[in-house]
């Protein structure tokens, strides 16, 4: 495998998307998840590096909390969101079906 392909294979081993994370949570897996709030932020990468050096199993959440919410996964706390699509795509589909 060339160096570039190996880089991406290694990178995928340490990233997780919201669907895979929700599956891991449902299976009771214990994993530390880190994310950044911004496309230009690499604090999650630096944090993941430091935590992995301490022995933690760490994954960077692709898209961060923003995409976790957009993908309809629940959150907790003062600004909690229930599970379900937050994009409104189900509502738009219903309107289109009603107009037929």
Tens digits of residue pLDDT in 16-59? 989 999 999 899 998 889 988 777 788 888 999 999 999 998 99
Question: What is the rounded average pLDDT of the residues 92-100?
Answer: 49
Tens digits of residue pLDDT in 63-90? 888 888 889 888 888 888 787 755 544 4
Query: Where are the domains positioned within the chain?
Result: 3-98
Dmax over CA atoms of the chain, in Å, equals 59
Looking at domain 3-98, its CATH architecture is: 3-Layer(aba) Sandwich (3.40)
Nearest in space to 75 (alpha carbons), one of 42, 43, 29, 35: 35
Model confidence, pTM: 0.65
């Amino acid at each position: 495998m060339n160096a570039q392909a190996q880089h991406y294979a290694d990178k995928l081993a340490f990233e997780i998307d919201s669907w895979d994370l929700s599956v891991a949570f449902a299976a009771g897996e214990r994993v530390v998840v880190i994310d950044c709030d911004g496309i230009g932020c690499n604090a999650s990468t630096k944090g993941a590096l430091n935590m992995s050096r301490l022995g933690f199993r760490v994954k960077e959440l692709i898209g961060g909390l923003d995409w976790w919410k957009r993908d309809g996964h629940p959150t907790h706390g003062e600004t909690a969101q229930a599970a379900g699509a937050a994009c409104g795509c189900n509502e738009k589909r219903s309107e289109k079906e009603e107009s037929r």
